[in-house]
């Protein structure tokens, strides 16, 4: 059920921020924008002198069994409006003010934003009465009250996939929390673990590793990971009768990038698992003396100024992640084979775009000017033993005996040296 409410009526509702919600993350810039929008609405209302209304968004809530409205979408705006109201009317009280904000990020943002609002009204004190009136008569929101929590999350998905692009990782978080609704303790624990991680790290995990690896292993080009692609990580429903679903359930908590997992808590465990694997890889490359040359190449600041070189580093780490995920070792020969395969494409092409990386990752095509045309991700996917990767025949010597772009001759020389090829070898 949807209802248009004034801000005063909205804040008078018995609202609650459920434990699965992300922390309050609005910064001073967001507050500046909100105060500016409200000021403009007040000015427009005075100008037109009609029943002027200014709608500032949609709030999705779910009424729980205690008659309390849990905020599914819109908590950032609700908290910010509460801070403004509290500042202009110290006697004001609402249920949001009774919330315990345990997250340090939320505490810092609330304190900083409230301080800014107070300072803003010190300068614009004449606007306090106008803001109070606007909360009653001008500003309004659409409040959508959904009976079932599952419907609330579905509406959250659909609301946020229209218009501006939403972060797909937040959509996945919401989806899998919905699948955990029967397990409130596990749900809260999952949220705590999720919020303890860097948002950028989670985004990069899917954007740069899991999603491209999954596509390349299937022999198809990858693309940007957006909200339209989240079905790839919705997993299989708990209790599904599909044979592959039962197999996935029995296999947990062991994961494989290209294999299904059970929806719900296993999604959060999977994210945690692969972030740890990436950390293992970074540590191994940095600390293992056998990989000193590799680490020196991939951390070369001058080369990293090239976008094509960055693509190549990511390609290597994707291949190594898939290998390590499957065989859980850092066999020196296997790692060097994967490295050589990945970096040969950099010396093969004059200009290296992501489209070229896409083609190379799945084995190229008959017209490709690649020294190697090996679908490495497919090879890893079908390999029974890690020795099969060690035994891959990776070509290093190019017909031209030089990099396609002279800029990468030094890299080509390093690859030849790493593979025991001397300059006078025919």
400-425: per-residue pLDDT in tens? Answer: 888 889 999 999 999 999 998 876 44
**Is 80 exceeded by the pLDDT of residue 312?**
yes
Residue 318 lies in domain: 290-418
Say if residue 16 is in the same domain as residue 126. yes
CB 389 within 8 A of CB 338: yes
For residue range 318-371, list pLDDT tens digits in order. Answer: 999 999 999 999 999 999 999 999 999 999 999 999 999 999 999 987 778 899
Residue 154 lies in a domain: no
The mean per-residue pLDDT over the stretch 90-109 comes to 90
**What three-state secondary structure class fits 54?**
strand
- pTM exceeding the 0.85 threshold for the entire prediction: no
Q: Are residues 340 and 275 in the same domain?
A: no
Q: Do 174 and 283 have their domain in common?
A: yes
Query: What length is written for the chain?
Result: 426
Indicate whether 91 pLDDT > 70. Answer: yes
Is residue 58 in a domain?
yes
Distance CA 277, CA 279 (A): 5
Residue 356 lies in a domain: yes
Other CB atoms closer than 10 Å to residue 365's CB: what's the count?
9
User: Based on the domain organization, do 323 and 384 belong to the same domain?
Assistant: yes
Residue 129 resides in a domain: yes
Looking at the structure, tell me whether residues 187 and 141 fall in a common domain: no
Are residues 269 and 319 both part of a single domain?
no
Mark whether 27 and 50 lie in a shared domain.
Answer: yes
The answer on 357 and 320 residing in a single domain is yes
Residues 178, 36: contact at Cβ < 8 Å?
no
> What is the rounded distance in angstroms from the CA atom of residue 152 to the CA atom of residue 145?
8
pLDDT over 60 at 122, yes or no? yes
Neighbours of 57 (CB within 10 A): 14
Burial class (CB in 10 A: 0-12, 13-18, 19+), 101: middle
Neighbours of 150 (CB within 10 A): 13
Total structural domains within the chain: 3
- pLDDT at residue number 301: 94
Residue 254 shares a structural domain with residue 318 = no
* Assigned domain for 123 exists: yes
Report if residue 424 sits inside a domain.
no
Task: Tell whether 187 is covered by a domain.
Answer: yes
The 10s digit of each residue's pLDDT in 48-63 is 766 788 888 888 888 8
Q: Which of 241, 256, 287 is the last residue of a domain?
A: 287
Task: From 111, 126, 148, give the residue that closes a domain.
Answer: 148
> How are the residues of the chain apportioned to helix, strand and coil, as percentages rounded to the nearest 5?
60, 10, 35
Same domain? 354 vs 414? yes
Residues 246 and 330 in one domain: no
* Domain-located, residue 389: yes
- Within this chain, do residues 66 and 116 fall inside the same structural domain, yes or no? yes
């Amino acid at each position: 059920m949807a209802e248009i409410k004034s801000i005063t009526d909205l804040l008078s509702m018995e609202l609650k921020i459920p434990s699965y919600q992300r922390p309050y993350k609005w910064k001073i810039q967001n507050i500046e924008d909100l105060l500016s929008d409200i000021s403009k609405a007040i000015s427009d209302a005075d100008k037109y002198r009609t029943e002027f209304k200014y709608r500032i968004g949609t709030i999705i809530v779910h009424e729980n069994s205690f008659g309390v409205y849990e905020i599914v979408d819109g908590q950032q705006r609700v908290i910010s409006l509460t801070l403004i109201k509290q500042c202009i009317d110290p006697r004001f009280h609402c249920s949001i003010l009774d919330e315990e904000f345990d997250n340090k990020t939320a505490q810092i943002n609330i304190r900083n934003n409230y301080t800014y609002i107070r300072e803003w009204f010190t300068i614009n004190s004449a606007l306090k009465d106008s803001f109070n009136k606007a909360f009653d008569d001008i500003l309004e929101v659409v409040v959508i009250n959904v009976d079932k929590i599952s419907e609330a999350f579905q509406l959250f998905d659909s609301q946020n996939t229209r218009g501006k692009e939403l972060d797909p990782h937040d959509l996945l978080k919401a989806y899998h929390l919905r699948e955990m609704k029967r397990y409130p303790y596990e749900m809260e624990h999952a949220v705590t673990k999720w919020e303890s991680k860097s948002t950028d790290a989670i985004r990069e995990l899917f954007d740069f590793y899991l999603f491209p690896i999954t596509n390349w292993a299937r022999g198809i080009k990858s693309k940007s990971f957006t909200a339209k692609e989240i079905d790839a990580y919705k997993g299989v429903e708990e209790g599904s009768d599909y044979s592959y679903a039962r197999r996935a359930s029995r296999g947990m908590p062991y994961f494989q990038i290209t294999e299904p997992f059970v929806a719900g808590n296993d999604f959060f465990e999977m994210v945690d698992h692969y972030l740890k694997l990436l950390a293992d890889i970074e540590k191994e490359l940095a600390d293992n003396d056998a990989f000193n040359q590799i680490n020196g190449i991939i951390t070369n600041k001058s080369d990293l100024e090239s976008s094509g070189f960055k693509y190549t580093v990511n390609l290597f780490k994707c291949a190594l992640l898939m290998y390590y995920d499957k065989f859980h070792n850092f066999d020196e020969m296997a790692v060097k084979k994967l490295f050589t395969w990945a970096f040969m494409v950099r010396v093969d092409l004059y200009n290296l775009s992501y489209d070229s990386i896409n083609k190379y990752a799945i084995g190229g095509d008959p017209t490709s000017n690649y020294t190697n045309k090996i679908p490495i991700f497919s090879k890893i996917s079908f390999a029974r033993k890690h020795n099969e990767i060690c035994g891959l025949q990776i070509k290093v010597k190019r017909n031209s005996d030089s990099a396609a772009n002279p800029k990468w001759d030094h890299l080509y020389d390093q690859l030849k040296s790493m593979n025991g090829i001397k300059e006078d070898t025919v």
